[in-house]
Amino acid sequence: MLDIKFIKENTELVQAGAKKKHIDVDINRLVKIDNKRLLLLKEVEEMRAEQNLASKQISEMLDEVERRRLISKMKILKESLTVKEGELKIAEKVWQELMFQVPNIPDPSVPEGETDVQNQEVRNWGDLPHFEFEPKSHIEIMEGLGLAEFERGSKVAGFRGYFLKGDIALLNFAVWQFVLDFMSTKKGFTPFIAPSMARETNFAGTGYLPQGKEELYKTQDDLYLAGTAEVPIMGFHADEVLSEESLPRTYIAFSPCYRREAGSYGKDVKGLYRVHEFMKMEQIVLCEASHQESVKWHEELTRNAEEIMQALKIPYHVVVNCGGDLGLGQVKKYDIEAWTPSQKKYGETHSSSYFHDFQTRRLNIRYKDKEGNLRFAHSLNNTAVASPRILISILENYQQADGSVVVPEVLRKYMGKDLIS
């Protein structure tokens, strides 16, 4: 959420940011509603002050006639106050709804564009594999080795359900353990196991609600299932004041994740690329309120993910997302996309974003700076690894002519073998 004072002082900049993100929001209406809200608030506060003063005078008044006259006057005031409070409540509700529609302003370096087709390559890494045979898809590889059960997965869990078994399950655990060791031991991030279920306020605070409601699963207890540990970890510090000395806070959080994929019918319906239930390790950072600090951490989180891909020796490229492919709160975003031999194209495996104080303002996460001023922290997040999607890249890039799959060297100590056959 942007500061309303900033919005009113920079309406053209905010409107331009919304246009670049291809988000339709009426900033002028918001400004008018805010002016009305402030006027009503002033009137309500004045009437309440008058009411409080009169109550004190009535309790101390000795003249019965004057006392009754003032009581009658206060009855009229009370009726007027009730009407004004109702108007204020409606204005505040409309104001809140409009405030939650205002997107964060994208960085000037974000390219123009409406969809991910307009995302621009920043760099690439690794040599694309050359096979002396026609490479199989991850589905064919797993079915050939008896590593997955897609039909039984659908029977049990419905559309996009799956079972992983045998060596692919062990490979999955190996990837998690490698990434956990890398992020906690080498990078010094604090490990978390985060809940998947969270209250609605956490999703609104991180920007997934109200716009993304169709993508979320909801329980009968009015809890939502998160599609990333970013949601519960950001909620972890909601309404807290952190010390500046404790920043940056760097977390690596593991959680089950759930997405309805409501807008993806017909896309990647087979295999492991686009599933409803998956696991993810997420990098989350809270840092001081500095654009330079946010940019520094954004590059570092992206570099962490790239180092993971390089350790796995999976070819990839990094793209900077265009304005139309940014979420409501993101200032800038990179996607890392891994090479998929069977499709001869790159597919997204990681997303890296920074938000300035968009999320922390909504969640009221602040810190006290050296001058004693309260400031909203800046927040960032980036995928460390998402599975089973990462397994697609490993299986397809490491496949052999006989149908076997070489285990990436960095995972062998966790797997206890160097070949899946």
Active site residues: 259, 274, 348, 351, 389
Q: C-alpha distances in angstroms, 71 versus 62, 65, 79, 286?
A: 13, 10, 13, 54
Q: How many C-beta atoms lie closer than 10 Å to residue 218's C-beta?
A: 13
Name 85's bridge partners. none
**Residue 15, SS3 per DSSP:** helix
Degrees to nearest 5, angle at CA 233 with 196 and 195: 20
Token digits of residue 368: 């006290």
- The answer to whether residues 104 and 2 touch, using CB atoms and an 8 Å cutoff, is yes
Contact 255, 195 (CB under 8 A): yes
Closest CA to 6 of 361, 327, 286: 361
Helix, strand, coil fractions of the chain, as percent rounded to 5: 45, 20, 35
Compute the Cα dihedral for 318, 320, 326, 330 and give only its sign. Answer: positive
Peptide bond into 248 cis (omega under 30): yes
User: What is the C-alpha to C-alpha distance for residues 76 and 84, in angstroms, rounded to an integer?
Assistant: 13
Written as six digits, the tokens of 370 are: 């050296």
Tally of residues, the chain: 421
Amino acid letter at 186?
K
Query: How far is it between the farthest Cα atoms of the chain?
Result: 106
Handedness of CA 118, 124, 130, 131 (dihedral sign): negative
Q: Which DSSP symbol is given to 274?
A: S
The whole-angstrom separation of Cα 103 and Cα 105 is 6
340, 295, 339, 343: which is closest to 320 by C-alpha?
Answer: 295
Burial class (CB in 10 A: 0-12, 13-18, 19+), 34: buried
From CA 148, how far away is CA 124, in angstroms rounded?
31
